[in-house]
Structures are given as structure tokens and as C-alpha cells.
Amino acid sequence: MNKTGLVLFRSDNLRLNDNHVLIKAHRENTNVLHIFIYDSKIFGINNKLYKYKDLSQLDYPKTSIFRSKFIIECVENLKKNLKNLNNDLIIKHGNIGTILKDICEKYKIDNVYTNQGKANFEKNSLKNIKKKLGNNVNFNIVWENTLVPINRLPFNIETTFPNTATSFRKKLESNCNINFPEKIPKIKKQHINVNIESDVINLDILGFTDKEILKNKQLPIGGEDAALNRINDYFWDKQLLHNYFDTRNELMGENFSSKLAHYLSSGCISPRYIVHEVLRYEKTVYKNKSTYWLIFELYFREYFIYYSEYYGSKIFQKCAVKSKTTYNWCNDLKLFKLWCNGETRNPLIDAFMIEMKNTGYISNRGRQIVASYLTRDLNIDWRLGALYFQSMLIDYDPALNWGNWNYSAGVGSDPRENRYFSIPKQAEKFDPKYKFIRHWLPKFNYHNDSYIKRLLRKGTRSNKIKSKNRITNYYKKSY
């Protein structure tokens, strides 16, 4: 019997290769439509970050200009690749449930397919779509974008979760094989006449009229093609994977780490594909600590995805997965904005935050340092920092962002609750000649090293500024 299916691509699953949503849809239907809908609650400059009961509304869009630009490129690339296979991607902007319902009724869609969301907001949004579509359409939510699918985990995630990331990884490493990536399914030619005009979506339409900030920057290009090129470049052409373990904590440049996070978070590449490329590299070129370490990091990613699955809405709450916290964080928005804008007067922190403001990216080391400074030195509620990252990061992933912030704030399931990064020590180790600081804060080109060294203690515990008021007064004085 002829069935018509529809694949709803979402902004975390934008690829054709190794995509189980696409495979299932093409296996179970004779006609398949493909659609991407820019959710009007997520995209657009006027969609501000969520409001917590006990935190103020923040004046930052949920999706920054950097991530919006990146996703637009991913979607265009997906459309181009489907066109090359004699099919198409319908692109719309609005309320996902309403748009889908109209299309399902008009084209008598039997089955809709999409991937499972990684955190509560995404899951609730899927529930609402399902409700809107009603009982005439089968709404299929497919588990995607992990190394090991949820139904093959070596423990029952409904009831248990390993205490630490290490025990999680060891359980998976010793009990689970990582499936080979699947090829693109045979994309069927459509036998129904689809007459839906796509919306034109660009930064102007999303309200980003001031695009100066994008100029003269080496921003990553979105899309599956760019993701596959990055693998080629990083693994094969330049063989940078070879030294990943030694370079991964650097702060500057294109190639010190894989820079695959934005492709993983947008689903332009599957983690299984990356692992199998590493294994191929190990077999044909070289196997060392670096090659293992990239897989190790992907298990860390996997850990946070399942951590979010297990703990649900808890990861967004002040104490997260702990029953209580010893930290009495404050909600000083003035101080918080100085941190966001790179105006704390601590040169290392400011350099990272200016990088974020100008590119939508900070290295992993940088993220840990600025998170520690916010929560331990400035004593500000970590959720504000997580929200700002959510807005700004090109590679924003709800599970990885909120999970990592849980850890940085000491409210994750990590046994090390009091992790603290001493800013002067971090600078000494990772930016000893202040190259990174001077790159993002060129005014320091006119100052000697000892002047910068003195400033690195600004706002930190070693300055003995502990209480909220004393910190605020300190900054008032500095400005």
C-alpha cells in the first residue's frame, strides 16, 4: 500500500549520511517529503532567553547571529544535496505544529519522522507537535546522534545512571560496539505533486540588520559538505589528529582541536562517522594517545547526552542533580553583564569573553576558565552563564552546555564539587606569553608582561574580595 511520509529535519539533525530518521522514513513509505521549519520561538532577534522565576529576563536572543548564520548555511546545504538527488527540502518559518498540520492534511501524510530532542524544551516541543497533529498521523520520534542508541545501553536508563563520566565510558567501551555509519538511503522520487513554496530565510528576515560583526572573520561554514571537508582536512590532509592530545588545550587558531562541535550539535555529521574515521586512521596511518583521545571526548559528549536524558529538567535548576549546594550565588546583573561584555578588567577573562562576543566560540579550556571565574570568583548564579552561552555559542547543544555548566558550578554528579581554576595559574600555563590576551585585547600590546600579570588577579579569590557587595563596589571603582 502506498504511504506518504514526511521527514521533519530539526536544527540538530541536518544531514543525509548516517541518518536513521531519513532511513526509516524512506524504508516505510513510497513518497517522502522533507521539511525544515525555523521555529519562530527559537529563531529571530526578538526571541529572548527564557525567564526563570528567580532570575531576570536576559536581553539576549535565544539564537545569536553567529548560530543563525551557521544554521541557515546548514539548511541551504541540505536543500542543495537533496536537489542533487532529485528531491527537495521545503523551508518554512513559523509555528512548527501549525505548519506541519496544514501540510499533513493537504498531502494526506501518513507518517511524520523526526529525531528525539536532547533536553526538556526540545522534548516538550515534540510533544506539542504530536498533539497538534492528532491521531490521523503517526508521529515517529527516532533516537539519533549518539554512538550507542538508547535501547542498547548496558544499563537501564529509566532507573539507573553511572555515578561518574568515567564509569559511564568504561561501561560503554567494554559492552557496546559502535555501529558502522549508514549510507544515504535511496531517496525516492516524489510521485505526488507538491506545491509548497519555501520561505526565504536570511539574517535580515530574522531581524539581524547589523551584520558588521560578521565581517572579516573566519567563521565556520555550516553544512554537511563543510563537516565532511573538515574531517578530510583535520584527519587526512593535514594529519592534525596525530597531535590532538597535545594541542587540544590551546586557546587560539584553527587547528588545535577538531572544531567538529558545531557540526555535531547541528547534526551535520554523526558521531559514529567520526569514530569510524578515527579507527580507519588508526588502521591506515597511526594509532596513538591522540587518536584514542578524540574518541574519549566523544564518550564525554555521549555521557552528557544521557545525563540530560536521565536527569531531565533537574539539569536546569540551581542545585541541578544535587539535593543542595553550599554556594550562595547572587544574581547581580550589572556584574554579570561586565563578564558577558569582557569588561571585568581581568585580561584573561575579558579576552575569552570578547572572543565569544565576536565569534560565537571559545575553546574548551576557555569555557572552563570563564565558568569558574563567574561561579567561584564573582559568585554569580551559574544559570546566567549557561543562558549566555546558550545564546552565543555556534555549537550550542542543550545537553552539553547545561551538563558542563552543572559540572563547572559543582552541582553535577561529579564527585569534585569544588573545582576551582586559578586565573593567574591558568594564564601562566596556557597563555604564558599573553599572546591570546594581546590578540583579543590589542591595548595590551602597549603594556609589558608584569602589568598584565598583576591584572590577572582582578576579581579573583586571591584578591580577597568575597562578598557580593564588595565585588560590586570593586567594579564600580574600576569604571
Ligand X SMILES: Cc1cc2nc3c(=O)[nH]c(=O)nc-3n(C[C@H](O)[C@H](O)[C@H](O)COP(=O)(O)OP(=O)(O)OC[C@H]3O[C@@H](n4cnc5c(N)ncnc54)[C@H](O)[C@@H]3O)c2cc1C
Q: Which residues bind to ligand X, rule: CB under 6 A?
A: 248, 257-261, 264-265, 294, 297-298, 300-301, 304, 363-364, 367-368, 371, 389, 393, 395-397, 400-401, 404-405, 408
Q: Provide the minimum distance between the beta carbon of 266 and ligand X in the complex, in angstroms, as a whole number.
A: 10
Give the residue with the Cβ less far from ligand X, 4 or 401: 401
How many whole angstroms from its chain centre is CA 179? Answer: 23
The Cα 13–Cα 430 span in angstroms is: 34
Give the residue with the Cβ less far from ligand X, 256 or 444: 256
What distance separates the 2 farthest-apart alpha carbons in the chain? 77
Give the residue with the Cβ less far from ligand X, 28 or 233: 233
Q: Provide the minimum distance between the beta carbon of 301 and ligand X in the complex, in angstroms, as a whole number.
A: 4
Give the residue with the Cβ less far from ligand X, 4 or 17: 17
Please list the residues that pair with 115 across neighbouring strands: 142
Give ∠ CA 209-214-219 in degrees, rounded to 5. Answer: 140
The Cα 446–Cα 105 span in angstroms is: 66
Please list the residues that pair with 94 across neighbouring strands: 39
Q: Provide the minimum distance between the beta carbon of 271 and ligand X in the complex, in angstroms, as a whole number.
A: 7
**3-state DSSP assignment of residue 324:** coil
The Cα 126–Cα 27 span in angstroms is: 22
Amino acid at 363: S
Give the residue with the Cβ less far from ligand X, 355 or 397: 397
The Cα 241–Cα 219 span in angstroms is: 21
Give the residue with the Cβ less far from ligand X, 234 or 434: 234
The Cα 68–Cα 213 span in angstroms is: 13
Q: Which H helix or E strand runs over 31?
A: strand 31-39
Give the residue with the Cβ less far from ligand X, 29 or 401: 401
What is the separation, in whole angstroms, between the first and last Cα of the chain? 72
- Residues across the chain: 479
